[in-house]
Amino acid sequence: MNSGHFIVLEGLDGSGKTSIARRLSQFLVEKNIDAILTKEPTENFHRDAELEGKRDYISSMRLFFEFTADRITHSEVIGKWVSEGKTVVCDRFLYSSLAYQGSIICKKFESDEDGIEWMREVSRVIHLKPEMCIYLDIDPETAMSRISRRMDSASGFEELEFLRDVRNTYLTLPECREGMIDASKSLEDTLESVKSMIKSRLRLW
Ligand code: TMP
Is 120 part of any domain?
no
Q: Which residue among 15, 19, 40, 90 is best mutated to probe the pocket of ligand 1, counting the most ligand atoms within 8 A of its Cβ?
A: 40
- Residue 165's domain is classified under what CATH number? 3.40.50.300
pTM reported for the whole predicted model? 0.96
Supply the range of the domain harboring residue 17. 5-53+75-93+128-202
- Atom number of ligand 1 nearest to Cα 94: 18
Q: Environment class of residue 92 by beta-carbon count within 10 Å: exposed (0-12), middle (13-18) or buried (19+)?
A: buried
pLDDT, one tens digit per residue, over 124-178 is 999 999 999 999 999 999 999 888 654 555 577 888 999 999 999 999 999 999 9
Number of domains in the chain: 1
Taking Cα atoms as reference points, which of 51, 38, 120 lies closest to residue 77? 38
Per-residue model confidence (pLDDT) at position 154: 56
Q: How far is the CA of 203 from the centre of ligand 1 (A)?
A: 30
Helix (H, G, I), strand (E, B) or coil at 39: strand
Nearest alpha carbon, ligand 1 atom 2? 41
Task: Give the pLDDT of residue 52.
Answer: 87
pLDDT confidence tier of residue 2, bands split at 50, 70 and 90: confident
Q: What is the 8-class DSSP label of residue 111?
A: S
